[in-house]
Amino acid sequence: MDKDKVIALLNQDLEGEHGAIVQYLSHAYAMGEGEMACEIEAIAREEMRHLDWLAEAIVELGGTPSLKRGSMRTGGKGVVDWMKNNVLLEEDAMGPYREQIKLVDDPKAKRLLQRILADEESHHGDFAHFVEKAERERAVDVRGSRDDRVVQILNWGIEHEYTVILQYLFHSYMATDKEVKRQMEDQAINEMQHLGWLAEKLVGLSGSPRIEHTGVDQSTKKADMLRADIKIEREVAAEYDRASKEITEADVKSLLDRIRDQELYHIEVFSDLLK
């Protein structure tokens, strides 16, 4: 199989992992605090590692990692249905991985696919178990339908964080400078924390997180990446600052201030790298 074909297959897998991460995280957030939500989040983190490995492999083969999100199995009336959807999503992944392992002859890519498949088989078992557990424990969707300014601001924050997670990951994969790569990855992880904090706060306030993103900067030159990243950080720091002054709830205010301060830190880190 030629290199371009392998890159195309790995990119399809990458898109699938992206969809799985968002599907599982939205379930974990919607279930609030609790053991099962934590375990689902841990599975989402394993999918993030898959995404990372696939992206690195794609770049190593001379390709560009896709930013598209693969199809998700949304819908379902409650936690039991969601867990059934997750079982199906794992099956959606396992089939192609098994096929590709037969087709791909590049030993490194084959080994990677086998490694990922083993995880998906294990997730498949976990979710099958969660179907029963959710029935037994009567796990519920704890989201509410509150939709005021606070909820809108938190959802705006989630949209921003999701966008920069993708942007910094993309920049980290494409960067050739080791320090830029390391910092981009580090800050992407920090943005994942922000997304989690905002989503958990939102559900705690009886809102419903909307996990969508806006346009991602796809620069590949160091200076262009850093300029785009500094620009978006400046905008968002100003917006968090403005929003915090508008809001009266003390806990939301302090969360937004904490995130704003970390965005200000990102601006300094990126500006140093640009020097």
Binding site for Fe ion (CB under 5 A): 17, 47, 50, 120, 123, 161, 191, 194
What's the distance, CA 105 to chain centroid?
30
Nearer to Fe ion, 14 or 273 (CB): 14
Q: Give the Cα separation of 152 and 254 in Å (integer).
A: 17
Nearer to Fe ion, 94 or 142 (CB): 94
- Please state the closest distance from residue 195 (CB atom) to Fe ion, in A: 8
Nearer to Fe ion, 133 or 194 (CB): 194
Nearer to Fe ion, 19 or 63 (CB): 19
- Please state the closest distance from residue 145 (CB atom) to Fe ion, in A: 26
Nearer to Fe ion, 27 or 123 (CB): 123
Q: Give the Cα separation of 21 and 159 in Å (integer).
A: 15
Long-range pairs, 260-264, Cβ under 8 A, ≥24? 262/190, 262/194, 263/233, 263/236, 263/237, 264/233, 264/237
The answer for residues whose C-beta is within 8 angstroms of residue 44's C-beta and 6 or more apart is: 20, 21, 24, 25, 28
Nearer to Fe ion, 15 or 47 (CB): 47
- Please state the closest distance from residue 237 (CB atom) to Fe ion, in A: 9
Q: Give the Cα separation of 66 and 60 in Å (integer).
A: 14
- Please state the closest distance from residue 213 (CB atom) to Fe ion, in A: 13
Paired tokens of 91: 């099956």
- Please state the closest distance from residue 67 (CB atom) to Fe ion, in A: 17
The answer for residues whose C-beta is within 8 angstroms of residue 172's C-beta and 6 or more apart is: 180, 181, 182, 184, 185, 188
Neighbours of 90 (CB within 10 A): 22
- Please state the closest distance from residue 260 (CB atom) to Fe ion, in A: 9
Q: Would you give the DSSP letter of residue 68?
A: P
